[in-house]
Amino acid sequence: MSVDPHWSVYILRCRDGSLYTGIAKDVPARVSQHNQGRGAAYTRTRLPVRLLYQEDNLTHSEALVREAVIKKMPRGKKKEIIQKGSPAGGLKRRIKLDNRLV
């Protein structure tokens, strides 16, 4: 069995200010799906969504575990990793939005 380290974990901000965490191989395409109302049921009534954070180069299993860890975090901790861009394990990608890093 081969390991495919091409998965990412991402955090979105919804229109109502809530945060949504998910996994995908192609995050920009997945965010587009969310914004077209074809993403998760949670985001469909909270459009538009905006990508705030992304961790790359994970296997599918690693992405699922990291997603579960982030989903269990209190909102303050999620905001902290978004701002710092420093998840556990050092796997990170800071996203540039509106000419500033978040």
Range of the domain at 23: 7-101
Q: What is the pLDDT of residue 2?
A: 55
Q: What percentage of the chain exceeds 70 in pLDDT?
A: 80
Query: Could you read off the pLDDT of 66-91 as tens digits, one per residue?
Result: 999 999 999 999 999 999 874 444 44
Rounded CA gap, 84 and 102, in Å?
8
Q: How many residues does the chain have?
A: 102
Is residue 21 within 8 A of residue 10, CB to CB? The reply is yes
Is residue 21 within 8 A of residue 66, CB to CB? The reply is no
1 occurs within a structural domain:
no
Q: Work out how many domains the chain is built from and give that number.
A: 1
* pLDDT exceeds cutoff 90 at 46: yes
**CATH number, domain containing residue 44:** 3.40.1440
Q: How far is CA 1 from CA 4, 24, 60, 62, 63, in A?
A: 10, 20, 13, 15, 17
